[in-house]
Structure 1
Amino acid sequence: MLSGGFIQKYQTTKDNVRFYVEEGLLTPARHGRNYWYSEADGSDFEQIKALQEMGFSIAAIQQIREQHDKHCGTTEQWRFNLNLIERELAGITQQEQELANRRAGLEDLRDQLITRLGDSE
């Protein structure tokens, strides 16, 4: 299918698709000046979106794709993916701690303001 059909089918934008092509995440066939997207490209697009929804960066998705292309179904690929997921989980844990600290600070300020407002009435 041509770019317009792909964009419509997957409810995305021309810029988004162009970016994925430039980053090597989508590899449609070229027919003259046009790109032709296969069902495999559609599957790749859906996988990219799913990984992004999990919080993976474009760089991480490129690494996942590279490992898949080189070592599909091997323990090397699985170890790589496990390591990547462990790093992502560690990052989430750190973000959760930062949010908990931020919440505690804001709750403390809120309580101070409530106390001051109660004292002034």
Structure 2
Amino acid sequence: MQLKIFMATVNAKHDTVRFYIEKNLLTPDKVAGKYVFTSQDVANYEEIMQLKKLGFSIETIRKIKQQHILNCSTTEQWQQNLALVENNINLAEQELKRIEQQKEALIKVSKQLESLLARQH
């Protein structure tokens, strides 16, 4: 399928598709200077989107895909993917802690402002 059809199929913008091609996460064939996408490219794009929703970086997605190519359905692939997933869990926990601290600071400021406003009345 041509680029426009692929973009419509996966609901993506041209720049997004180009970005994933440049990052070598999508590897469509080129025929007469134009990209030709297959149903496998659609599946690859959907996998990239799922991994992004899980919070994986482009570099980590690249590692996951590389492991799939080199060690598909092996213990080694699963162990390496598990390590990547556990790392992302740790990063998410750190981010949650940071957000909770930010929330607490905002609540404190909110209470201070409410107190000041109450004194005005």
Q: Return the TM-score normalized by structure 2.
A: 0.94
Are 1:100 and 2:97 matched, yes or no?
Answer: no
- Identity over the aligned pairs, expressed in percent? 33
1:16 alignment partner, SS class: helix
Q: 1:41 is matched with which residue?
A: 41
**Can you give the 5+ residue segments of structure 2 that lack an aligned partner in the other structure?**
none
Misfit runs of 4+, over 6 Å: none
Q: 2:31 is matched with which residue?
A: 31
1:63-94: CA deviations, max 9, x gaps? Answer: 00001000111111111111111111111111
Alpha-carbon RMSD? 1.0
Structure 1 letter corresponding to 2:71: H
C-alpha separation in 2, matches of 1:28 and 1:116 = 61
Number of positions where the alignment pairs a residue of Structure 1 with one of Structure 2: 121
Structure 1 letter corresponding to 2:45: F
Structure 1 letter corresponding to 2:39: E
Q: 1:120 is matched with which residue?
A: 120
**Can you give the 5+ residue segments of structure 1 that lack an aligned partner in the other structure?**
none
1:10-59: CA deviations, max 9, x gaps? Answer: 11111111111111111111111111111111100110111111111111
Q: 2:87 is matched with which residue?
A: 87
C-alpha separation in 2, matches of 1:101 and 1:63 = 32
Q: Return the TM-score normalized by structure 1.
A: 0.94
C-alpha separation in 2, matches of 1:106 and 1:46 = 37
Q: 1:11 is matched with which residue?
A: 11
